[in-house]
Amino acid sequence: MASDRSERPGKATVRKFVEMKRRGEPITVLTAYDFLFSRILGEEGVDILLVGDSLAQVALGYETTLPVTLDEMLHHARAVRRGAPDAFIVVDLPFLTYQVSPEDALRNAGRVMKEAGVQAVKLEGGDEKTCETVRALVQAGIPVMGHLGLRPQSVHALGGYRVQGRGKGEAERMREEAEALQAAGCFSLVLELVPASLAGAVSEALEIPTIGIGAGPRCDGQVLVLPDALGLNGGFTPRFLKRFADLEEEVRAAVRRYIEEVRERTYPGPEHSFEEGER
């Protein structure tokens, strides 16, 4: 009998996350962009590693997420997969790799699945055209995570990084788009910068889990951008962000110590050096 390798204990599938929601178990998601950090996140048991297109900003130094290319996303996604071979990994489809046509989206999402060996892709938006694209990907066997609220790829159209879904009309549209994405086949939905009451209502209305960032405690899971959560991203201090460490200060202190010891010739010491015949 052929065994389904994806169902081995420890290997997550999309079904796991819907079941976690049913059981009321919060889903943990963190972004990952490289081998070393994804190894740590995988070994510590983060439920989903997201290779977010936020890598444009936090790993590549761009102002927005718009410039990052599919090839750059793939380069990082492969490193994340090598670091966390058993993790459930989702990769963001970057700007203009899925908006032109469902065929284009299928080709690009297919590259992500084949070349990075991950389990799912994420895309932003919930209008009819986006839902058509979601249907095409899901029909081809590609799991899709949706993304509503603040959609960073549309930052110029939205007029900045602002809370979305304020006011009756906008809130109603978000509810409808969330339902439409679920009907189109999304297995989960990111809600970014959404009033907590609206995010809670959307979460209760859906069977698929919502993953919040700046969307309050009633989402089914939470996601943070890893360098922000670790305190590595200097001046970025939005209200929703909790810093779980202050690594920037730790790193600065270590670098200062290294400079000092090399300049004083106290590093390397004899314990860090080799003599003839020593191994």
- The footprint of ligand KIV (CB under 6 A) covers 31, 50, 52-54, 92, 190, 192, 213, 223, 225
Residue type for position 29: V
* C-alpha to C-alpha distance for 149 and 53, rounded to whole angstroms: 16
Please give the C-alpha separations between residue 124 and each of 91, 231, 270, in angstroms, as whole numbers. Answer: 12, 26, 56
- Shortest gap between Cβ of 154 and ligand KIV (angstroms)? 12
Name the closest residue to ligand KIV (Cβ).
52
Q: What is the DSSP letter of 199?
A: H
> For residue 49, what are its two tokens?
């590693």
Which phi and psi angles does 127 have, rounded to 5°? -75, 180
The one catalytic residue in 176, 192, 250, 275 is 192
Q: Which is nearer to ligand KIV, 42 or 152 (CB)?
A: 152
> E strand or H helix at 177, and its extent?
helix 168-184
CB closer to ligand KIV, 47 vs 92: 92
Cβ 83 to ligand KIV shortest distance, Å: 17
Task: Compare residues 182 and 222 and give the one whose CB is closer to ligand KIV.
Answer: 222
CA-to-CA separations, 47 to 54, 89, 91, 156, 185, in angstroms, rounded: 19, 9, 14, 32, 20
In terms of CB distance, is 149 or 200 closer to ligand KIV? 149
Distance CA(120)–CA(264), nearest Å, equals 51
Q: Which is nearer to ligand KIV, 42 or 221 (CB)?
A: 221
Please state the closest distance from residue 42 (CB atom) to ligand KIV, in A: 17
As measured in angstroms, the least distance from the Cβ of 259 to ligand KIV is: 33
Q: Alpha-carbon Rg of the chain, whole angstroms?
A: 21
Task: In whole angstroms, give the CA distance from residue 188 to residue 46.
Answer: 16
Report the nearest approach of ligand KIV to the CB of residue 228 (Å).
9
Q: Is residue 25 annotated as part of the catalytic site, yes or no?
A: no
Q: Which residues are catalytic?
A: 192
